[in-house]
A and B are shown apart, each in its own frame.
Chain A
């Protein structure tokens, strides 16, 4: 079987030749280490106002090219590691000066979130969500109006980006198309979680409009991704924290149920599969994922208590399970023996009958490429069907 048959067989809850491995390498440092490339060190440039402004101008004027180039490296790295699939992702952002942040630069995305742009000592560039840019209902409407011309640009760039990735890598690895964050994150993050919670109770009609707006935009985004021919898309909302969901299943249904159903129907109407990424402890939402029409769940974060055996017992083969390898310790500092044990256990707990893709549960720059190699080696060693562990 090739990578594509392996993944598609798994998605149908049938046993392929071996357990597929997927990932989402989202770090230039990680991909450079895998590919043996130097990482450009431009942290010093950020110390000088003129150079900082110059860097900002370059990033803003060549954003699409920059993303395409980074993703090309991430795909090459995933292929080098032996992955069967890797995420592709495009987000529309603008780099702006922000004196409050340590290195003076922020990134604002078109969903009205502020990210701190930081270059660390290893040369890794990271953009971490810090806060939203609108705290009132009026703010939100103003931002949407201001950004309106950018939404068409987003859709065009998404289509172009995914087309390029499919064209360049489609014969060597399966691209999992991702719009990044989903309707839940896109709703609360621009206003901050505290304001969001207030609005849910105090301004339900406003919330309904925000959610509808983001659902419509996400559907355009997903359709642009699917236009490139990808077989599989992954939506994403972080719906859980360490001990449980952020909102009750009932409240999620009331606020977001219709939105999620629309997303699933749109993907299925094009004969594609829809996985859903969420960090955190989401046992209480798994049945909802099935109801909403998701085909699988991605992440299954072990440090939030997600255990593959328990998840499989709860949902059976109604969901494809993707992930579960720990990124807090195992993929950063774990030993080879610990890696083998974790991979063996994951395969034992979830792979029988297909429907399981082994993957790190998330991605960050401190993940060690050597440990990713160990993960793939162990998957090949223990993941041959029929599973005999």
Chain B
């Protein structure tokens, strides 16, 4: 991490927005490579998380330098952990990788009620709603949010992706989610495909 931070600080010292943009692009490519190695079973979660931590630190240094202080977004994702569940590791890894892929991510945090998910969809008009759930005892919260989206006629305006230890593809099919992500990198790949289609 130290050498990457040093390199980012060197770029920052030039005060050149284009150099910062180039560095961010290079970093994004590197993170995608990490993701691919993870999916191929060459790298493991600890390496994925550490790369995500390096990414967070690096982006903090480089992003303010580019014009407007924000990266150009390829889409908006609202994401949160469902009501009754306070776990956020998987969600946070997904956020790191989705941000590095160019998404604007609205993180609602943990223990997010159905009402807060619905309100965020109304306010931010995301292309994707991501819900995370580690506990089997809270998995039905996902179905409640999807039903409420339907009731409020918002379902066809947003794709729903779900992930977490308690969930399976079978569960996703049962509650009517658009996709199930077994891990954060696959989740990022899915939303990237949606944004380009």
Query: Which residues of A come within 8 Å of B, CB atoms?
Result: 101-102, 116, 118, 120, 126, 128, 130, 193-194, 196-198, 200-202, 241-248, 251, 279-280, 284, 303, 327-329, 332, 364-366
B170 touches A366 (CB 8 A): no
With a 10 A CB-CB cut-off, give which of B1, B46, B166 has the most chain A CB atoms: B46
The residue that A120 contacts in the complex, of B47, B52, B87, B137, with Cβ under 8 A, is B137
The residue that A128 contacts in the complex, of B46, B86, B89, B170, with Cβ under 8 A, is B86
A329 touches B168 (CB 8 A): yes
Chain B, residues 24-65, CB within 8 Å of chain A (1/0): the string is 000000000000000001011111011011000000000000
Query: Hey, which chain B residues are within 8 Å of A193, CB to CB?
Result: 46, 49, 89
- Additional 4 contacts, C-beta under 8 A, given A102-B111, A130-B87, A366-B136: A126-B137, A248-B46, A251-B44, A328-B171
Interface residue? B182 (CB, 8 A): yes
Chain B residue, CB-CB nearest to A246:
B45
A366 to B139, CA, bound (A): 11
B46 touches A247 (CB 8 A): yes
Give chain A nearest CB distance to B79 CB in angstroms.
Answer: 17
Chain B residue, CB-CB nearest to A245:
B44
The residue that B1 contacts in the complex, of A120, A201, A328, A366, with Cβ under 8 A, is A201
B137 touches A243 (CB 8 A): no
Number of residues in B with C-beta < 8 Å to the partner?
31
A120 to B135, CA, bound (A): 13
The residue that A364 contacts in the complex, of B47, B53, B136, with Cβ under 8 A, is B136
B45 touches A244 (CB 8 A): yes
Give chain B nearest CB distance to A39 CB in angstroms.
Answer: 15
With a 10 A CB-CB cut-off, give which of B2, B86, B167 has the most chain A CB atoms: B86
Query: Hey, which chain B residues are within 8 Å of A241, CB to CB?
Result: 45, 90, 165, 183
The residue that A328 contacts in the complex, of B49, B52, B168, with Cβ under 8 A, is B168
Known contacts A243-B182, A366-B136; decide if A200 and B46 are in contact (CB<8 Å): yes
B44 touches A246 (CB 8 A): yes
Query: Which residues of B come within 8 Å of A, CB atoms?
Result: 1-2, 41, 43-47, 49-50, 52-53, 84, 86-87, 89-90, 92, 111, 135-137, 139, 165-168, 170-171, 182-183
A27 to B53, CA, bound (A): 36
A118 to B90, CA, bound (A): 22
Give chain B nearest CB distance to A288 CB in angstroms.
Answer: 13
Query: Hey, which chain A residues are within 8 Å of B87, CB to CB?
Result: 128, 130
A243 to B183, CA, bound (A): 7
Chain A residue, CB-CB nearest to B136:
A364
Chain A residue, CB-CB nearest to B111:
A102
Known contacts A198-B50, A198-B53; decide if A247 and B44 are in contact (CB<8 Å): yes
A126 to B50, CA, bound (A): 31
Chain B residue, CB-CB nearest to A130:
B86
Query: Hey, which chain B residues are within 8 Å of A248, CB to CB?
Result: 43-44, 46-47
Known contacts A126-B137, A366-B137; decide if A247 and B1 are in contact (CB<8 Å): no
A364 to B45, CA, bound (A): 25
Chain A residue, CB-CB nearest to B96:
A194
A242 touches B165 (CB 8 A): yes
Chain B residue, CB-CB nearest to A240:
B45
Give chain A nearest CB distance to B130 CB in angstroms.
Answer: 16
B111 touches A202 (CB 8 A): no
Query: Hey, which chain A residues are within 8 Å of B165, CB to CB?
Result: 241-242, 279-280
A251 touches B46 (CB 8 A): yes
Give chain B nearest CB distance to A374 CB in angstroms.
Answer: 18
Query: Hey, which chain A residues are within 8 Å of B50, CB to CB?
Result: 197-198, 200-201
A246 to B168, CA, bound (A): 19
Chain A residue, CB-CB nearest to B90:
A241
Give chain B nearest CB distance to A229 CB in angstroms.
Answer: 34
Query: Hey, which chain B residues are within 8 Å of A130, CB to CB?
Result: 86-87
A-B contact pairs, 5 of them (CB 8 A): A128-B135, A193-B89, A200-B50, A241-B90, A329-B168
A194 to B171, CA, bound (A): 28
Chain B residue, CB-CB nearest to A192:
B89
A332 to B140, CA, bound (A): 12
Query: Hey, which chain A residues are within 8 Å of B47, CB to CB?
Result: 248
A241 to B163, CA, bound (A): 12
Query: Hey, which chain B residues are within 8 Å of A242, CB to CB?
Result: 165, 182-183
Query: Hey, which chain A residues are within 8 Å of B139, CB to CB?
Result: 328
Counting from the closest, the 4 A-B pairs by CB-CB distance are A197-B50, A247-B46, A246-B45, A130-B86
B49 touches A194 (CB 8 A): yes
The residue that A332 contacts in the complex, of B1, B46, B136, B182, with Cβ under 8 A, is B136
Give chain A nearest CB distance to B41 CB in angstroms.
Answer: 6
Give chain A nearest CB distance to B80 CB in angstroms.
Answer: 15
A244 touches B44 (CB 8 A): yes
A202 touches B1 (CB 8 A): yes
Chain A residue, CB-CB nearest to B56:
A194
Chain A residue, CB-CB nearest to B2:
A202
A327 to B168, CA, bound (A): 12
Query: Hey, which chain B residues are within 8 Å of A366, CB to CB?
Result: 136-137
Give chain B nearest CB distance to A204 CB in angstroms.
Answer: 13
Known contacts A130-B86, A193-B89; decide if A327 and B136 are in contact (CB<8 Å): yes
Give chain A nearest CB distance to B111 CB in angstroms.
Answer: 7
Query: Hey, which chain A residues are within 8 Å of B166, CB to CB?
Result: 328
Query: Hey, which chain B residues are within 8 Å of A364, CB to CB?
Result: 135-137
A245 to B42, CA, bound (A): 11
